Structure 1
């Protein structure tokens, strides 16, 4: 995917200034790494969210501040816990000849055999770290789940077979097909109990 350009401006780091930025449609961010000091900047919210929707966290972004530009990757996004509003962005400077570690989404391909039997595909992990050069960052890690039966599990070691650049615990469960949920006897009894009580009341009244 072609790199996307973001235009930023220097900002003050105070909380009061940050609130003013957000009210003005700006997102506070920090540029760090690349053998330079961290630099607080502000980005246009709409432009950044459009770029993020296109490129996600697995793309390289060219950030321009005060006429100078640098290549970056998104390292962290902070959201409001209630409104889910994007509050802050951490951008790491990168060099084309140095490896970086970024989060890449896990995308499933196919319908598991276990799902066709009534099971449910459970995504235990939605993204995974990949270590590579900035120009080699994959858009996603695709996992063919069509052969998964009920109870089968995809582990981190399976992801590493798909792409050796994946950085993950080999025993980390990633995807699994769980059996269909059946009401327990306790739940069934709880459902039947009100009917029994009502019948007893009707018998007492008659």
Structure 2
């Protein structure tokens, strides 16, 4: 079920009005995409951030614009780096019957046996590229790593069947692995330098006597 978010039409695009919208705690935004004429709107900043936090970045949002509902996804957004505030958002209207390509975050759960034994857990892949209808896009891909021993790995090909989406990544791509810990270098591993020739006192004395 899509999350619901209220939006207001925004027809006055003057800079002064845009500033007033932000001062009121709202974010100027634009809607475009499937069967939608591009239109400018404003949404509550806190409600938008809460929706994305609770539902995920690929959530389908039912955007209510003056009584009309549009199924959208948050396609892009801009943040003021100085104030750390949301300043603009782009909503893409989706066709609920058509597949689309998205990136879904990969989340690891559990503590690997190999990590407990001193191995190093490495995760080369943090997002999985998939193709799915909007309603079938998962919030995240969860992988249990509890049984991984040192030297084990999980590849894209190891992901379970029965999903409602196609994976676009190469099957041989490593998602997570447990590496063998680095071995400490041995203390005697340094190359021995040639020893200084030993001076024999006796020979020195005899040599000195012969000169006298």
Q: After TM superposition, is the score higher than 0.5?
A: yes
Q: Is the partner of 1:129 in helix, strand or coil?
A: strand
Q: Gaps (5+ residues) in structure 1?
A: 186-206
Q: What is the TM-score normalised by the length of structure 1? A: 0.70
Which one has a bigger Cα radius of gyration? 2
**Alpha carbons of structure 1 residues 99 and 26: separation in structure 2 relative to 1, 3 Å:** same
Once superposed, what is the RMSD of the aligned Cα atoms?
Answer: 3.2
Deviates more, 1:162-171 or 1:122-131: 162-171
How many residues align structurally?
A: 184
Q: Gaps (5+ residues) in structure 2?
A: 187-212
Q: What is the TM-score normalised by the length of structure 2? A: 0.69
CA shift at 1:61, angstroms? 0.7
**Alpha carbons of structure 1 residues 119 and 33: separation in structure 2 relative to 1, 3 Å:** same
CA shift at 1:14, angstroms? 6.0
CA shift at 1:92, angstroms? 1.6
1:133-161 CA-to-partner distances (Å, cap 9, x unmatched) read: 22222232121222333454444444486
Give me the whole-angstrom Cα distance separating, in 1, the residues matched to 2:158 and 2:81.
33
Q: Is the partner of 1:57 in helix, strand or coil?
A: coil
Q: Is the partner of 1:49 in helix, strand or coil?
A: helix
Partner of 1:30: 30
Partner of 2:176: 175
Deviates more, 1:92-101 or 1:159-168: 159-168
CA shift at 1:34, angstroms? 0.3
Give me the whole-angstrom Cα distance separating, in 2, the residues matched to 1:16 and 1:183.
64
CA shift at 1:48, angstroms? 1.1
**Alpha carbons of structure 1 residues 82 and 103: separation in structure 2 relative to 1, 3 Å:** farther
Q: Is the partner of 1:142 in helix, strand or coil?
A: strand
Partner of 1:196: none
Partner of 1:51: 51
